[in-house]
Amino acid sequence: MGLMRKKSKRDEEQKRRPSVKDRNRAFVCTMNGPHEVYIENYGSLGDYSEKKVVLHAWKSILTIEGEGLLIDYFTDIDMKITGRIRAIHL
């Protein structure tokens, strides 16, 4: 029988960390005029209302502010937001 190595704290921490592939995944924000924006590769949807949509990505937060904001559709990969978009903050 071979020797079994005891799992260290470091091994456990490495399992919890995102992979290099996930860390380098940048989101893409495409704006089509003042009333439509597409976001790809976002991490998760945070807070949202008619005046603000907050998206979480790796080590960043994207905030879209405006009036009458509506999430037309969203999947785990992309989303479309419409309304009168006033500002996008990173």
What is the predicted pLDDT for the residue at 59? 80
Global confidence as pTM: 0.70
The highest-level CATH class for domain 11-89 is mainly beta
Per-residue b/e over 16-29, b at no fewer than 16 CB within 10 Å?
A: eeeeeeeeeeebeb
pLDDT at 29 over 50: yes
Distance CA 39, CA 49 (A): 17
pLDDT in tens, 41-89: 888 899 999 999 999 987 889 999 999 999 999 998 899 999 999 999 9
What is the predicted pLDDT for the residue at 19? 47
pLDDT range class, residue 26, cuts 50, 70, 90: confident
